Amino acid sequence: MARENRSWGDTRIQGALAYLHHEVGRGTIVDVLREAGLGPSPERRKGTDWNTFLTTHWDSIAATDFFTVEV
């Protein structure tokens, strides 16, 4: 979740997991993110590279390809 939604903090991830009926503490989420090499949300937000951007928005990019008009 943290890789796909770089702006989500620990509390937002906890809320999303609670919506899916998974009760996980914030401290556990912080530990898991730290072990995975992911920092806090402000640091994750800064590091978006071009490949991640394209992968995240692929559906929108493919959909807009059909809106070409011959002039």
Distance (Å, rounded) from C-alpha 56 to C-alpha 6? Answer: 11
Residues 6+ apart with CB under 8 A from 9: 40, 41
Contact 47, 12 (CB under 8 A): no
Specify the DSSP class assigned to residue 1.
Answer: -
pTM over 0.75: no
Query: What's the pLDDT at 22?
Result: 94
pLDDT tens figures, 37-55: 887 777 666 666 788 778 8
The structure tokens 């008009």 sit at: 69
Return the closest-CA partner of residue 10 out of 25, 22, 53: 25
**pLDDT digit string (tens) for 6-41?**
788 888 999 999 999 999 999 998 899 889 888 777
pLDDT at position 44: 66
What span, in angstroms and rounded, lies between the C-alpha atoms of 70 and 56? 28
Q: What is the per-residue pLDDT for 33?
A: 87
